[in-house]
Amino acid sequence: MSKLNRRHFLQASSVTGGGLLLNGTRASGNFLGANDRVRIAVAGLNGRGQSHLGGWKGAPNVEIAYVADPDKNVLARTMGKIGGKTKGISDIREALEDRTLDAISVAAPNHWHSLMTIWGAQAGKHVYVEKPMSHDVAEGRIAVAAAEKYGVVIQHGTQSRSSAGIAGLHEAIQAGKFGKLKVSYGYCCKPRGGIGMKAPSAVPSNLNWDLWRGPANIDKFHSNFVHYNWHWFWKTGNGDLNNQGTHQLDVARWALDTDQTHPVRAMAIGGRFQWNDQGETPNTMMGLAQYPNGQYVFFNVRNVNYKGYGRQVENEYYFEDGSRIVRGMLYAKGSDKGEKVSVPNGKVTPGGNWNSFIAAVRAKDPTMANGDVYAAHYGCVLGHLMNNSYRLGEKVPFNARAGKFGDNADAAEHFGRLHDIMAKGVGVPADGNEYVVGPWLTFDPKTEMHTGDHASEANALLKDTNRSGYQIPSADKV
């Protein structure tokens, strides 16, 4: 057990003024040069955690100093593969005590992302954090506050941010090369299946249930939580919208005018069709968000598999003159004949997502992060607001007129396409099925609070309650 126990760690990390400066300086006492070895700890060893290990193994002069996981079996399996001087631990706080550690790499479940990021910053460690950086709106803002206070590099696990090609396309869009962008559209349409029903049961002996839950305010264990299906429960995950969809949400927001941060209103419509399981998040969704300048982000989640399923994990761009960019082709209004889009590469830190982070760490320069803490926060909040609208929604009959889009003909058209797929492709019958239609939620980008209709209910969803010992600190105590 770590000498730095939970209570001591949380007390130390809330000290005002200097905060927890284990390494003697805001962002580490090890002054790294371009060729210096970077020591990193990986938290969470399933799924994306294995990708993190592969990424850091392939980065020159990087040492994986620690691997952490609350499942003893997963930890042992990883240690059997990685070997060397790497130390296996159950609690990331043990690694944070190490004055010679430079960074942590967070691949734990979503409900852990912000707290580990904050703890890492308070300990003077740089942080590579899987998407989404936040599980809710408020904790994302606190992660931003921690990054600002401690001067650490925080890079979001949205790999597209390291694409010079996408960066170049967005720079061209923002420069007006194709006219004024009207709608930036993202898709997270990949087939998934139902998860069945799992009754509460005894916690497996190999799992440290206290550490696995961490800040998530859940009580009883069931086997659908570990090790992937936690994505489909609100207290631990964010549905596919802010799972796989975080990548395409981030790309969609990235294309907007550069002065846009948060939307001023958002809504969503969808449902969880056919699977009849205990999952809570929708497997079908159309989300909309309007920004202060009038630009929109549309988003489409479609997971229910069927014969002829059309997989779409991509982005599209629609312009005010009626032209559009779809799959790298520019189409004029009303035309089905496109021309390939060719633009110069844009500005990113080279090296892909793994090596760009290491370069930023060596330079101690947060601005070098491809997908820095601000981009992470703005992109995640976009998804949170859509999800929160859905969570406050009302059930209506399953038909093409279910959406409440006002006079937004573009939204009605795209929802119509989604409904057609669900009704005719998936075969969802009108009788006995319903959509959940969320309200339009008004949002103030400066205060990050809801105003107007539904403000009370919506503001209650901005911050999850946390378990004792794992509370997210307030921004002024970070």
Instruction: Based on the fold, state whether residues 132 and 174 are members of the same structural domain.
Output: no
At 22 the pLDDT is 29
Q: What is the DSSP letter of 64?
A: E
Q: What is the pTM of this model?
A: 0.93
Query: Are 282 and 134 in the same domain?
Result: no
Same domain, 281 and 326: yes
Confidence of residue 83 (pLDDT cuts 50, 70, 90): confident
pLDDT tier for residue 32 given thresholds of 50, 70 and 90: low
Are 93 and 70 contacting, i.e. CB atoms less than 8 angstroms apart?
no
One domain, residues 277 and 421: yes
Q: Which residue has the higher pLDDT, 248 or 30?
A: 248
Please say which residue of 127, 161, 195 terminates a domain.
161
Q: What is the DSSP string of 68-124?
A: E-SBHHHHHHHHHHH-TTPEEES-HHHHHT-TT--EEEE-S-HHHHHHHHHHHHHTT
Query: Is residue 227 one of the residues assigned to a domain?
Result: yes
User: Which CATH number goes with the domain that contains 146?
Assistant: 3.40.50.720
Residue 354 within a domain: no
Asked if residue 180 and residue 153 are part of one domain, the reply reads no
Same structural domain, 262 and 398: yes
Q: Is 1 a member of any domain?
A: no
DSSP secondary structure letter of residue 473: P
Q: What is the pLDDT of residue 33?
A: 64
320 and 208, same structural domain? yes
The answer, yes or no, to whether residue 35 has pLDDT greater than 90, is: no
Q: Quick one: 176 and 265 in the same domain?
A: yes
The CA R_g of the chain, rounded to the nearest whole Å, is: 22
Domain range enclosing 129: 6-161
Is 366 part of a structural domain of the chain? Answer: no
Q: Is the predicted pLDDT of residue 107 greater than 50, yes or no?
A: yes
Query: Among residues 161, 191, 211, which one ends one of the domains?
Result: 161
Phi, psi of 140 (to 5 degrees): -65, -40
Question: Is residue 30 one of the residues assigned to a domain?
Answer: yes
